[in-house]
Structure 1
Amino acid sequence: MSAYIVTYDLNSPGQNYEPLHSAIKSCGNWWHYLDSTWLVSTTLSAKEVTQRLLPKIDKNDNLLVIGATDEYAGWLPKKAWQWIHENLNVYVY
């Protein structure tokens, strides 16, 4: 299993985010505390996650799927840190 940061900008006004959000949720265990940023714990590769999400965005939108590590810091609610600790630390080699 791997963990990825999924972040995006939908650039057209009035975008319907639900199809993209549903596609992200279908990739595996997910976390979403920041507006356009998700963490996904999944058996899929970064390329497979991207292929699943690309049909849900427009050509002028931006998408980044990048590996997450067990090195992290920031300012988040306790519930967010619990998810991160439980889902990112599992993948330390």
Structure 2
Amino acid sequence: MLTFMVSLDLTAPTVHYEPLHTYLRSHTNWCRPLSHTWVIATTLQHNEIMAGIAALIAEGDKVLIMATSSPTALLHPDAESLTDWITTRLYPRAAVTETDRVHSISHFPLRRIDSHHNPSN
């Protein structure tokens, strides 16, 4: 089983992308941590995934597929639950122990950035 990050830059506003989303959800395990970024666990190779995606997107859309061995950082309001889900479903070998699972993804809580705050004062 391989794990890939699929990043999409979908530029055609009139194209219906539900078939693309169905295709990405058809893999063994998947997660959509960001609106145009998917992480999928699959038996397919990157070129097979690209061929499947290419048939479902519009001209001018952009796709990046990268193999991953473990996630590295996540900034998301639901970081803790998403981290646990990603680690156990997409990277089960990374979750051998509780310590391994906790350290396989660095998650950062979101905080409000005040544009009027000057940290040097």
Give me the TM-score of the superposition, normalised by structure 1.
0.85
> SS of the counterpart of 1:13?
coil
1:18 partner amino acid: E
1:88 partner amino acid: Y
Native 8 Å contact 1:6 1:39 kept in 2? yes
Which residues of structure 1 form unaligned runs of 5+?
none
The list of structure 1 runs, each at least 4 consecutive aligned residues, that deviate by more than 6 angstroms after superposition, is none
Structure-2 residue corresponding to 1:9: 9
Give me the TM-score of the superposition, normalised by structure 2.
0.68
Which residues of structure 2 form unaligned runs of 5+?
95-121
Structure-2 residue corresponding to 1:90: 93
Q: Which has the higher contact order (CA 8 A, sep 6+)?
A: 1
Native 8 Å contact 1:11 1:61 kept in 2? yes
User: What root-mean-square deviation, in Å, do the aligned CA atoms of Structure 1 and Structure 2 show?
Assistant: 1.9
Structure-2 residue corresponding to 1:30: 30
What is the CA-CA distance between 1:71 and the residue it aligns to? 4.7
2:75 partner amino acid: W
> SS of the counterpart of 1:56?
coil
Counterpart Cα distance in 1 of 2:40 and 2:92: 13
